[in-house]
Amino acid sequence: MLTVNKLEEVIEELRNLKIMLDDISGFMPDRHFIIDESGIILSHFGNEQPDLFFNIGNMKQRSIFEFSTIEAIGNDLRNAVNKCFSENKMVTLEYSLQLEDFQLLAPGVIGPENRQWFEVKIRPMHSLLNQKRTVVTSTRNITERKLMEQKLHEMAMTDPLTTLYNRRHIMHELERSFERFKRYGTNISVLMLDIDHFKQFNDTYGHGVGDLVLVELAKYLKKAIRKLDVAGRLGGEEFLIIMPDSSVGQIKEVAERLIKGMGELKVSTSEGELSFTVSGGLSEIMKEDLCVDNLLKRADQALYFSKENGRNQVNISK
C-alpha cells in the first residue's frame, strides 16, 4: 500500500520523466504522431520547427487525414496506414506539394515549380493505447535531399560543358529506342554531327574559344531540334541526335536545316565574331540490325562521306 509521501514521490518522478522526454523529443528531427486505426491522433511530439506544410497547433483527437487536403495524398496516406496495420511492418510514403496546393508552403528550400517534398514513415506500435491498435508516424521535409538527388542525377547524365546528354546517357537512350523498335517496330533515325576543322580551330584560337563553339552549338541544338528528338555529345566535337518515329527520307530536310543553321551561328570571342560549319551523317534502323552498333556505323560512314565531299553538308548512309 502506497503512503501519501510515496505517492508524491512517484508523481514527482513521473513529472520529471515527462519533462525529460519532452526535452528529448524536442531534439527529434521529425514530427511524430501516434494514431489509431481510424486515423485519429492520440498524441504528437518531436520537431517543433515550422518546416512542415501544416500548423501543429492542438491536433489531438483529430484525424490525420484531414491535414492531407489533397485528395490523392490523403488516399495514399490512408492506404499506407492500412498496409502498416495489415502487414505489421513499417511503410514509407513520399509525396510533393506545390504552391497551388496550399496558400503557403513550409519555410525553407522550395524546388522547381514551387514544389516541396515530404516523407512519412509509419511503424506499428506493439502496445495498445486506450485499448486500440496504434501506429506511430514520422513526418519530415525532404526538399533539400530531393533537390540534391536531382542535381546528382542530372550531373550523371549530362556533359558538363554543353549540358547536353553525355555519351553514356545518349547511348542509353539509343538502346531504349532500339528496344522499342524490336518490340513495337517504331522506326529510329540518327544524325551524327562533327564540327569541320575543329582541331585547326583549337590550334588557331585556343581551346577556350573551341569550348565556346561547342557551347553555342549545343544551345542551338536545344532550340532547333524537335521535341521528340534527343541530343547528346559523344565526345570532342562529335554529337548525336536520336530522331524517333522517322525515316531518313522524312528528316533529311530537317537535318539540312540544322546544318545550315549551325553554319550561320556567330560566336563572340576575344578574336571577334567567328563562325564554323558542321558535317552530318544520317542513318536509320534496319530489320536485320541486331544492335545499335550497325546503325551508328552507317551514320559514321555517311558523316565521313560528307567530310570527304566538301563538308558543311549532310548525307544519308547507303
Is 214 inside a domain boundary? yes
Both 183 and 247 in one domain: the answer is yes
Domain boundary among 126, 150, 174: 150
Kindly tell me the burial class for residue 4, based on how many C-beta atoms sit within 10 Å of its own C-beta (0-12, 13-18, 19 or more). Answer: exposed
Both 162 and 291 in one domain: the answer is yes
Range of the domain at 282: 158-316
E strand spans, the chain: 31-36, 41-46, 91-98, 115-124, 134-141, 188-195, 230-235, 238-244, 267-269, 272-274, 278-284, 314-316
Is 10 inside a domain boundary? no
Helix (H, G, I), strand (E, B) or coil at 283: strand
Is 15 inside a domain boundary? no
The string of pLDDT tens digits covering residues 18-65 is 666 565 555 566 778 888 888 888 877 776 555 555 555 556 667 777
Dihedral, 229, 231, 237, 238 alpha carbons, nearest 10: -60
Is 13 inside a domain boundary? no
Q: Which residues are catalytic?
A: 237
Is 14 inside a domain boundary? no
The string of pLDDT tens digits covering residues 244-293 is 999 998 899 999 999 999 999 999 988 789 999 999 999 999 999 989 99
Both 223 and 95 in one domain: the answer is no
Domain boundary among 150, 185, 200: 150
Domain boundary among 125, 150, 175: 150
Number of domains in the chain: 2
Both 176 and 266 in one domain: the answer is yes
Both 54 and 191 in one domain: the answer is no
**pLDDT band, very low/low/confident/very high, at 212 (cuts 50, 70, 90):** very high
Is 18 inside a domain boundary? no
